[in-house]
Amino acid sequence: MELFDALCTRRSIRKYQDRAVPRLAVERLLGAAMMAPSAGDARPWHFVVVEGLDQVSSIAQALPHAEMAKSAPLAILICADPSLEKFPGCWMLDCSAAAQNMLLAAHGLGLGAVWVAVWPFEDFMKGARRHFALPEGIEPLALIVAGYPAESVPSEDRFDPSRLHFEKW
């Protein structure tokens, strides 16, 4: 898929076919995520991959807003290890760039995916820490839920000139 098609037609997909995502595709998602920029190139990220309907659907118990996980074949929790940072306090930005790369890669592979926010919501972070048994100090940023799409969401034009300022606000 061409880059601008990917950027402009990617939508959040929350309904998935009952079909596993091949390991090779999972690796391409992770590979794209790890090419994200990070402050001082610290790459403070970790990824917890969950495969299979049963395993993925259990996530919805810990993260009630991840309802779509109940019928998804794949989920990836994007986390950070802040002790790897060179410029403390940037991990949520680094991991967000990685998340966006992952969503675009999923779209490029014909998968559908959605970013379920975990950071900065204390309850969700607590739920994710417990469910995924994250080691002390590891911070969860987002859960990416993905699969082959069972819905098609048309692209929407989000360009809003009122959000653009020239030279000064």
Partner 1 sequence: MKSMDIFEALMTRRSIRQFTSDPVSEAAILKVLEAAMMAPSAGNAQPWHFVLVTDRGLLDKIAEIHPYAGMSRDAAAGILICGDLRCERYPGNWPADCSAATQNILLALHGLGLGGVWTGIWPGEELMQNFRELLGLPDEAMPLAFVPFGWPASVPPTPARYQPDRVHLNGW
Is the link from the previous residue into 120 a cis peptide, with omega within 30 of 0? yes
Sequence-distant (≥ 6) Cβ neighbours of residue 36 within 8 angstroms: 45, 94, 97, 98, 100, 101
Task: Please give the structure tokens belonging to residue 164.
Answer: 């653009």
63 scored as a contact of partner 1 (CB under 8 A): no
**Contact predicate 119/143, CB 8 Å:** no
13 scored as a contact of partner 1 (CB under 8 A): no
The smaller minimum CB distance to partner 1, of residues 32 and 71, is found at: 32
36 scored as a contact of partner 1 (CB under 8 A): yes
**Spatial CA neighbour of 29 closest among 14, 5, 9, 50:** 50
Query: Residues 17, 20, 47, 150: which binds partner 1 (CB under 8 A)?
Result: 47
Q: Which residues bind partner 1 (CB under 8 A)?
A: 1-8, 10, 12, 28, 30-32, 34-37, 39, 43, 45-52, 55, 87, 89-90, 92-93, 96-97, 99-101, 103-105, 107-108, 115, 117, 119-121, 132-135, 138, 141-142, 158-160, 163-169
